[in-house]
Amino acid sequence: MTFHAKFSGYADPALHAAGLYIGGKWQSGSGITVLDPSTGNLLAEVADAAIEDAQRAVDAADAAAAGWRATPARQRSEILRRWYQLMTQHAEELATLIALENGKALADARGEVAYAAEFFRWYAEEATRIPGEFRHTPSGSHNILVDHEPIGIAVLITPWNFPAAMATRKIGPALAAGCTVILKPASETPLTAYAMARLGEEAGVPPGVVNVLTTSNPGGITNAMLADPRVRKLSFTGSTGVGRVLLAEAAKSVVSCSMELGGNAPFIVFDDAHLEAALDGAMIAKMRNAGEACTAANRFYVQAGIHDAFVAGLTARMKSLKIGPGYDPETQCGPMITQNAVRKIDRLVSEALAAGARATTGGKPLTENGYFYPPTVLENVPVNASIAREEIFGPVAPVYKFESDDEAIRLANNTEYGLAAYIYSRDLKRAMKVGKRIETGMLGINRGLMSDPAAPFGGVKQSGLGREGGVTGILEFMEPKYFAVDY
Ligand code: NAD
């Protein structure tokens, strides 16, 4: 295995893991190349799991299941707490690793590590507060007793855009609930997942409780695991298209699914908004991870009276961002994950321009090395353009003008997605009234960032099923069991 010189200079060699992690053992291998998206050069090569490896991972998760389930909640909690502390101690190395393999700016990568570690701290706390119920039957003749039990072996599949946080947001509640897991990280960003598994070992996670597999055959491996009757949970974060395929596959053995899928967030700015606050929020909602976030503002609906000032302010801010490799501390907008991602953004922008939109900054891919697309603002975009329907997943802000509250609501809801939405207005009553009519799982009011481990994260419509984080996140990994007792 090879590592980029930048990385070996920064990081603790203990975090240089690149083999499959099954049953507490590391199995070296090769076959999956990890590229530096700022140059396209080879960063590292990691093992490529075959179907037999996935079966061994299920065996390992099964062998560890009874012991982990029987481990007192306090002990499970303390292991998660140590894992949180180790991630915090190694925050700088983990952030560098994320900036290298994902390309996001170091400031975003540092933010991700802090956010990711918080899921372990939050679920260390929640592990000791698993709820139950004791009720009287309406007839008064009996009591109803409800316990929550770990659901069983969980397969966790994560995307490349938050390589640390999407993994901890699943591992934290699963381990707190008493489940053993198999994590399959995205092949574009496996190094962070392996580095975290190393820290988990150090934190005292017993062998087999967390297993990690990278593969070039995600469909084959996942189908094999879902067909095994010992696997009872699939927790997936990724695109709606892959989510649909996995839901169909999980249906064959009726596996419980939690799905965190794509988004198409509207960002609504009313005439009475505080302009500077709306622009600050817009930059966070659009440019965190250079737009590669499921909660990224994808459509800016701006009321006629504030429209021109908003476009001018957004253009100035987007123009001033420094583009470069994520690991350069000066960078504010890193590369996209792949050349294909740049092609998709280019297609959406070109179609919008051909339909009458105008770019006030940016508008075409950069031609230097690496997968760069410049921060772009589009105005006069037709409301039915492809860029209004598809996830852009890049640093492009299309702005649409609207007149009335009803029109803003109709436009915002005109999508199959319903993950996140943003509203800027000084009139909180108006914002709440409009917010109630927006079809979304999460709504930021005068805020451009809503993610919080203590809050329920997830979407409605085709943005997903279930919630991660908060007090309910742990229940996604538990089954209620009802005891009908005659005393
Ligand atoms: P993706 O759907 O292409 O891949 C996600 C994961 O699924 C990867 O690990 C991939 O290897 C795996 N995968 C692909 N095909 C598979 C198959 N047939 N069977 C099993 N696994 C398979 O998504 P991506 O490009 O990695 O991530 C971007 C997408 O993720 C965007 O749509 C984004 O909105 C979404 N996302 C959603 C959330 C959320 O919380 N709702 C968070 C982050 C990202």
Ligand 1: centre distance to CA 169 (Å): 15
Burial class (CB in 10 A: 0-12, 13-18, 19+), 138: exposed
Ligand 1: centre distance to CA 237 (Å): 5
- Say what the pLDDT of residue 368 is: 74
- Say what the pLDDT of residue 485 is: 85
Ligand 1: centre distance to CA 288 (Å): 18
| CATH classification number, 9-261+463-485, choose in 3.40.630.30, 3.40.605.10, 3.40.50.920, 3.20.20.150 | 3.40.605.10
Three-state SS for 11-28 is: CCHHHCCCCEEECCEEEC
Both tokens assigned to 361: 């900054």
One-letter amino acid at 483 equals F
**Ligand 1 pocket, 245 CB below 6 A?**
yes
- Say what the pLDDT of residue 316 is: 98
Can you list the residues of the chain whose pLDDT is less than 50?
A: 1-2, 4, 9-10
Measured by CA distance, the residue closest to atom 6 of ligand 1 is 159
What would the pLDDT profile of 257-302 be if each residue is shown by its tens digit? Answer: 999 999 999 999 999 999 999 999 999 999 999 999 999 999 999 9
Ligand 1: centre distance to CA 295 (Å): 14
Enter the pTM of the model.
Answer: 0.97
Measured by CA distance, the residue closest to atom 41 of ligand 1 is 260
d(CA 452, CA 183): 22
- Domain segments of the chain as ranges: 9-261+463-485, 265-452
Catalytic residue list contains 188: no
**Ligand 1 pocket, 239 CB below 6 A?**
yes
**Ligand 1 pocket, 249 CB below 6 A?**
no
CATH H superfamily, domain 265-452: Aldehyde Dehydrogenase; Chain A, domain 2 (3.40.309.10)
Catalytic residue list contains 439: no
Residue 459 CA: which ligand 1 atom is closest?
A: 41
Among 102, 104, 237, 344, say which to mutate for ligand 1: greatest number of ligand atoms within 8 Å of CB.
237
Measured by CA distance, the residue closest to atom 18 of ligand 1 is 219
- Say what the pLDDT of residue 12 is: 54
DSSP H helical ranges for 228-326: 240-252, 275-287, 304-319
Tell me how far the alpha carbon of residue 449 is from its chain's centroid.
Answer: 14
Positive or negative: CA dihedral 241, 58, 15, 214 = negative
